[in-house]
Amino acid sequence: MEYLYIIKVLLNKDGLDLVRLDEWAFAEYSCEGRLDYNINEETVDKILGRDAFCGGEIPDQILAKIEEANADMSEVSYYWENEVQAKTFLEFLKAKKIDCTIEKKQKEDWNESWRKSFETIHVSDQLKVVPSWEKSQDTNQNLYIYPGMGFGTGNHETTYLCLKAFEELQEYFKEGVRCLDFGCGSGILGIAAIKKKKAIVDFVDIDKDALDNCVMNLEFNEYQNYSEGHALVLRERFQLKEKYTLVFANILESVLIHEKETLLNSLSNEAFLIVSGLLADQEDTILKEYKKLSHLKTISKGDWIAMVFKNINENSL
């Protein structure tokens, strides 16, 4: 059995600061990681949703905002797998009369722990997102998703809203509709179109790992039984060769602006565009950027929104 040795240190006391602690822990005592328990996840989510670009590493300026939001942190914990190193650091801190404690915890498979927290998501009576390990038989009412890579499971408000918007538009799509899932992540949106409308979907993402996760989820959903001709493409290799009747773009405001021409040019006449990854106060900006389209509605959940547009006149683009 493997363990972690976690040392919790109180900050904001007698001039003790995080920079000094980090220097001691990492540079002198071979610390393996730091746990910041009181980072407000909702605040971080909003910072990333408002300011981050997409893919790759989070920009330094965004990390700085997260650190600023966490400036009032009152405690921090460092961890080791090596018991001797952990206890040596503990003695070092005690010698400096720094308030600290040590805890021995069984090492967890964090991905497995997260899996346990993922339950079926009910978008409606006709559409549910089900963990892949709970699959018994294939059904077009269930989307089977393996959440191991965290590329979109339906848990987040924006993914849920996109699925909800798609459900409300289904009557407008014929079987075999051409669909673009732009910034596909896990592929959950495109897979919904496949299972409900036997759509032919092009999945596009900047992250190869996302496309790998998408392939896994397509296989869980037995996509070959619904239709053929799907494509998975890295963004850098994606070129528009045809128009689409349904386009999903669950990304971020900055990316929706940056990729505006690609998304507009992807739409056939009478096509629908569902965009999300947006906070409520970003609606006006997207309305201005996509003013060539007809804005049908905006739906919301918590602080997040999804917007539905229709391309009434292809020639206006």
DSSP 203: E
Could you give the domains of the chain? 3-112 (no CATH), 117-316 (3.40.50.150)
Q: Which of 108, 106, 105, 132 is nearest to 119 (CA)?
A: 132
DSSP state of 293: S
d(CA 288, CA 268): 21
Average pLDDT score, the chain: 85
pLDDT tens track of the chain, all 317 residues? 688 899 999 876 566 777 888 889 988 999 988 876 544 455 555 555 555 444 444 555 555 555 555 555 578 899 999 999 999 999 999 999 999 999 998 877 655 666 666 788 899 999 999 988 888 889 989 999 987 544 566 667 889 999 999 999 999 999 999 999 999 999 999 999 999 999 999 999 998 988 998 999 999 999 988 888 999 999 999 999 899 999 999 998 999 999 999 999 999 999 999 999 999 999 999 999 999 999 999 999 999 999 999 998 644 44
SS3 assignment, position 175: coil
Specify the pLDDT at position 66: 53
**pLDDT at position 55, please?**
46
What is the pLDDT at residue 105? 87
d(CA 22, CA 34): 9
Tokens 């540079």: give the residue: 27
pLDDT at residue number 120: 87
**How many residues belong to the chain?**
317
